[in-house]
Structure 1
Amino acid sequence: MMNYTGLYTAYKLNRPLTEKEQEGRFCQAKRRRVNIINDEASVIRMNSTYLETVCKYYHGTGVSSSLIFILALGIFLSFCFVFFEPIFDYIAYGTQFSMVGFFLSILVVIVSLFFISKLLQKEWFRKTHYPMRFNRINQMVYVYKVNGEILSVPWKDIFFTPAKSLGRTSEWGIDGHILAEDGETVLDTFSLAVSLTAGKKLLGEYWEFIRCYMEEDCVQELSELVTLCPPVEKQKEGYIFGLQYLMKMDSRLEWIFLPVMFPLDLLASFARYIAMQTSKIPQWSQEVLDACQPEGDDPVNVSAANNPEHLWRYVLANEKRDVYEARYARQKAAYERIKAKLAARYEKV
């Protein structure tokens, strides 16, 4: 399961913050100690002016719609059976059948397919993704919402807090709440591009990536932590990358799950490709584009153009030893420099 709150189910608005939300708050201008800083393969573009990421739904695009499609196919086959079997029996054997039951069965199937088609349209025929931009120069956050609106809000005015999805396999993410003047009533909500099954403790690793970008003098170091960028800037994701993104592994230990996961990922990749091809590329307003013009000589410019040359090796955690060690050394050195800068700013001598 993915955290689909906001896509399949609406955020709960016009309500007071809960006690848990207040206790778990991710505070701006406050360092959070973590073991590493992680971008969760969410970065579309990073420069010294803005950081653009995908939405939390992008990671699992195709997973739910593939299951929904299978359900729809099953119902459609049931429809064919309900429709043709009584007719065949009547013609071949003269068997009588109830017209009322016949038409009621057809009605149930049609209504079921209608509602299932509505669920499929949550991923298909929408937007390829719903991006966010974090502008460190003007300290604004721009969110492309599911309904097509663009939310523009000052970084410091957002109340960030852990959020847990519903269901047996709960996932943790980070929600950003826009509050009323009373500082307690939630008027609007969006989610950062992270959804984890490993528990909310690891959310801090992603939060520090976003917070450090917006507040600390370490953009160059953060850019060196990024390895994989979704190629969705002004274009649609291709089928192969979609499959690779679904299959991405953190270590070779995950190979033991390949016999089970590969068929599921393959099925989801087809639904993901349909979602990408039937959806439109989100377009930022001219106001956002004007506010996010990077400097021409910016030394930081991270995008899908910087993705690993041998992408299959990377997503299967099977890079050549020298390639892996070089990347690991670069990222470790970058993180050590970030820690040193944070220590110099926040720790008392």
Structure 2
Amino acid sequence: MDYAGLDYSNIRFPVDRPLTEAERAVKYRQKDTGNASPMDFLSVIKFNSHYMDLVDRWYPIKGFNTWFGACVAAGGVFFAVLIIAAFFWAPATNERSALWFMIIVLLPISLVLVWGGWWLIRTECGRYTHYPMRLNRKTRQVHFFRQNGTVLTVPWDSLFLTLGESKSPLSGTTYDLRAHVLEEDGKTVRESFSLGYPSPLGNAESIDKFWAFLQPYMEAEDGVERTWRHLKENTGYLVPVDGRKEGWRWSIARSFILGAHWPYLQLVFSPFLGLNAVGRMLAMSTSKIPQWPEEVEQANPMDADDPYVLTWRDNGPLGWWELYWPLICTVVGVGTFVGVIAWVVSGLWR
């Protein structure tokens, strides 16, 4: 879907380059609040008076590469078996030249599909469940968990924050709150990461809303209380990945949450969303839980009597529309997909 910035993809954020005029034109300044209504887009893992943990831009869409890659790899295996079976078990005819063409040309293509599908699966499985970011209000430092397991620590005030834009064949143009780490010249981009990502369906205004949520916490005198109140009154849920892997219930709920206001659309798109839920479960179960280094933990203490602590343990229960209806849609969607595939395969074998 939209995997811009992934280290092991071919669409990494470009670095070792000068800032562009377009980036300067849509810069978010640390002291500027903006006029948008705040929204957190279900991105907060943990919250307290000292720091706030956020999920990465690939967390909301995790699962897509897993199920899509599995389909691509399975298709490659199926056609490879079909080609080999046709070559060795088909009766000798004058069409042996066509069978040789299948072995020489089409079989390698099938094997490439298998490799490509496995590569897609490996972008999510066997890695980390998520790549957290920690914004410390007290020390004014930002910690970013890289995809290779190392951590970048950079001053909040030194970040060049701008409206990031990416293009994907499946999701079209998407936007994120892009953070650039600059060289000493203040012009050259040394490293980039996405500080906020609403969803593949978000627009530029969504980033304004996320900034209106994030900026007060780091800048406003009453930012802790305002952000805490927003999370308590408007969000309802924090992402349940603090020191744990998300469970199957959350994998289903998160996969269907984009259509939370349109249950009938969740059913219509249940084959896609249901497969994404299954792929997400597999990706999460095979991935490692990220652990902040000891020096980061020591630099980010929590007060024992902090009245503003929030974690996933403060979440309310998932109800009918959050879990059980999406669960039904998952069963219907996956069942429909499997039925269609079985029908197609049976037709090919006749």
TM-score above 0.5, yes or no: yes
Tell me the TM-score normalized by structure 2: 0.84
- 1:89-168 mapped onto 2 (5 Å cutoff): 89-90=90-91, 96=96, 99=100, 102-168=103-169
Amino acid at match of 1:222: T
Structure 1 residues 110 and 51, CA, compared in 2 at 3 Å: closer, same or farther? same
- What's the CA shift for 1:3? 4.8
Pairing 1:272–2:280 present: yes
Partner Cα separation in structure 2 for residue 303 and residue 78 of structure 1? 48
Amino acid at match of 2:229: E
Counterpart residue number, 2:12: 10
- Cα deviation, 1:157-207, whole Å, max 9, x if unaligned, reads 000111111135211111100011111110000102313434202211111
Contact 1:247–1:316 (Cα < 8 Å) also in 2: no
Counterpart residue number, 2:238: 229
Counterpart residue number, 1:292: 300
Counterpart residue number, 1:219: 224
Q: Which runs of 4+ in 1 moved over 6 A?
A: 315-318
Partner Cα separation in structure 2 for residue 192 and residue 6 of structure 1? 14
Counterpart residue number, 2:210: 206
Counterpart residue number, 1:44: 45
Partner Cα separation in structure 2 for residue 264 and residue 313 of structure 1? 18
Number of aligned positions between the proteins: 315
- What's the CA shift for 1:250? 7.0
Gap runs ≥5 in structure 2 = 327-350
- 1:78-89 mapped onto 2 (5 Å cutoff): 78-89=79-90
- Cα deviation, 1:259-302, whole Å, max 9, x if unaligned, reads 32222111101111110011111111001010111111100111
Partner Cα separation in structure 2 for residue 249 and residue 101 of structure 1? 43
- What's the CA shift for 1:68? 2.3
Counterpart residue number, 1:325: none
| Percent of pairs with identical residues | 27
- Cα deviation, 1:8-66, whole Å, max 9, x if unaligned, reads 321101011111100000110122111x2111111110000110011110001012332
Gap runs ≥5 in structure 1 = 319-349
Contact 2:266–2:273 (Cα < 8 Å) also in 1: no
Amino acid at match of 1:187: R
Contact 1:38–1:209 (Cα < 8 Å) also in 2: yes
Partner Cα separation in structure 1 for residue 281 and residue 4 of structure 2? 19
Structure 1 residues 267 and 292, CA, compared in 2 at 3 Å: closer, same or farther? same
Structure 1 residues 149 and 14, CA, compared in 2 at 3 Å: closer, same or farther? same
Partner Cα separation in structure 1 for residue 88 and residue 183 of structure 2? 62
Tell me the TM-score normalized by structure 1: 0.84
- What's the CA shift for 1:149? 1.6
Partner Cα separation in structure 2 for residue 67 and residue 305 of structure 1? 32
Which SS does the other structure have where 2:120 is aligned? Answer: helix
Contact 1:245–1:315 (Cα < 8 Å) also in 2: no
Counterpart residue number, 1:192: 195
